[in-house]
Amino acid sequence: MSDDELIWRVAGGSGDGIDSTSQNFAKALMRSGLDVFTHRHYPSRIRGGHTYVEIRAAAHEVQSRGDGYNFLLSLGDSFARNPQEEAYYGNEEIKPLSENLDELREGGIIVYDEGLISEEDVEEVNLEERAEENDWHVFPMDLRGLAKEHGREVMRNTAGVGVTAALLDMDLEHIEDLMSDAMGGDILEANLEILHEAYDTVNEEYDFEHDLRAPTGEHDTEQALLSGSNAIAYGAIDGGCRFIAGYPMTPWTDVFTILSQNFPDMGGVSEQVEDEIAAAALAVGASHAGAKAMSGSSGGGFALMSEPLGLAEMTETPLVLVESMRAGPSTGMPTKPEQGDLEFVLYTSQGDSSRVVFAPGNIEEAYEQTRLAFEIAWDYQIPTIIIYDQKLSGENTNVDVEFFDREPEPGLGATMTEAELKEAAHDASGKFKRFNHEDAEDNVAPRSIPGQKGGRYLATGNEHSPVGHISEDPDNRVAQMTRRIEKLETIRETLDEEYDSNQTYFGDEDADYGIITWGSSQGAVEEAVERLNEQGHSVKGIGVSDMMPFAEREVTEFLESVDEAMVVEMNATAQFRGLIQKELGRFGDKMTSLLKYNGNPFEPAEVVEGYEVNLADDDREPTAQVRIEPAAGD
């Protein structure tokens, strides 16, 4: 973490408005000209339980959460199940203070709400002693009392933002503008009074001995604050999606909700159904009927979709699914990020699978690869999956608004017109040879949709003849299966030749050490590579998005160009490293793994340390909760 950045953490109880407070503060920082990046940590509970959101803000580009943080606003947990120290989960009321101290950097600032966190609580966590050891600057404020004086207790968050702004010497203009956009009348007036009184109280009662101030910056273009879920939803809309079916499950719910909110204004249809089997089956049916359709889930919910996914593969029905990973197995840790579903998504289904899988690594890639997923799915009549995780789903960062200034693509790909159907091959019965393997260009047999004249055929989950009748003929089976599988080879050639690469490269291209990652770990790895090169090391990195068909050529060239490589991913079994070795058949002796699976995403410093430990000749172990898996044969 550099000296010219703010990493502000607001902590409270789930249900205390921590998320909305942090989003508004992040927007205010963005509007002041700063780049921002948020990280969200919350429990698997509706009300109560320690939650926090971290905002990293700087005048330079920020690509991941930072290493620790330097400002804590602790509001306490007003929904705590039990405030007693001897309770099973301990005194939850003070966890927004007690559980955040280990990561607060030396010289940092603490503001806590003494309206809820008592002197006894402060003594319990040895705050005075720890503050002296770490040169922390502590500011107790009765935020609840201030909120009650002017309105309601729930407005304590506004008071906390006012205190923050005063201690960081921030102007209130952007915060006031956001409040005015979100509310009005007496509620707005009360919140503004609380904001200003908190701000003035700090300036009147405290001398600032700390050096931390809000950075200053300026944007050249208009910015928007978006999450990965926003980007996937907007990519789907611009890709032509107008039907979505789903069942709520964290963290997939965000994409489902955003599309459901937007579809009424654009003629789209959103259906919340009884379970994930129905959701995926409904999306298959909508696509068969001629709509660009989407569904998705997380973990166990996506497991239920394996049968409809297999149906889409067999009937060659274009479909986009999203799978938002969370820590498993089973229910696991529903609100914590992990990259443990890669093998599951690649291979779940019946028999030999034919699907495309993209794993975007940042907001921009989430948008672009979702659009690409719809294009590939409808051009090649194949299910396409976007795999991401809770980290990418919920983190917010600023994006240039002009990035989204593109034409939408509502077309249905390789779907024939009635004029084309008139000239197409038909069976003696008059049925359209929908699955004709004899003259399928690029292994794609153009489709018709119900209602088109001359487009009648059968669609079944059984192996079938060119017109869709059930067939167990060995020659037909080999021809149809080969055609479906070889679509992936055609798609790989198309991605390599006709599209910009989905892989992201960073660092010195002539470096002799490589770091490979995938998905949401990309930002932390990219920053770590930058730091290592600034320290005089020779390191480069690649973030891989093309999981199936695998980016064989690009990953091969990257690994051939380095002496050693470290694969960074958030799971316990090195799934991505295993995929590389499976697809390439070599490089096992060149790759080590840096693995993290404690429910928290990588910080750049952990990747830097992993690199240093890998190069060390001694038996040193990393200090962070990560694991290093040696190269094959070591």
What pLDDT was estimated at residue 1?
38
**DSSP assignments along 558-626, one per residue:** HHHT-SEEEEEESSSS-HHHHHHHHHHS--TTTEEEEE--SSSPPPHHHHHHHHHHHH-SS----SSS-
pTM (predicted TM-score): 0.95
Look at the block and give the residue holding tokens 């976007």.
Answer: 386
pLDDT-flagged residues of the chain (< 70): 1-3, 617-618, 633-634
Question: DSSP class of residue 351?
Answer: S
**DSSP assignments along 170-196, one per residue:** --SHHHHHHHHHH--HHHHHHHHHHHH
The answer to whether 35 touches 5, Cβ cutoff 8 Å, is no
What pLDDT was estimated at residue 502?
97
The answer to whether 52 touches 11, Cβ cutoff 8 Å, is yes
Question: DSSP class of residue 329?
Answer: S
What Cα–Cα distance (Å) separates residue 604 from each residue in 63, 397, 528, 562, 607?
10, 17, 5, 21, 5
**Which H/E stretch holds residue 209?**
none
**DSSP assignments along 397-452, one per residue:** EEEEGGGG--------SSB--HHHHHHS-B-TTS-B-TT--SS-GGG---B--TT-
What pLDDT was estimated at residue 634?
64
| Tokens encoding 146 | 């201030």
Q: Are strands 35-41 and 269-272 parallel, antiparallel or unpaired?
A: unpaired
- First and final CA of the chain: distance in angstroms? 34
Interatomic CA distance for residues 234 and 473, integer angstroms: 44
Instruction: Identify the CA nearest to 613 among candidates 632, 589, 588, 630.
Output: 630
What pLDDT was estimated at residue 617?
67
| Tokens encoding 435 | 């699955």
What pLDDT was estimated at residue 628?
87
Q: Where are the alpha helices (DSSP H) in 125-252?
A: 127-134, 143-150, 156-167, 173-182, 185-205, 228-238
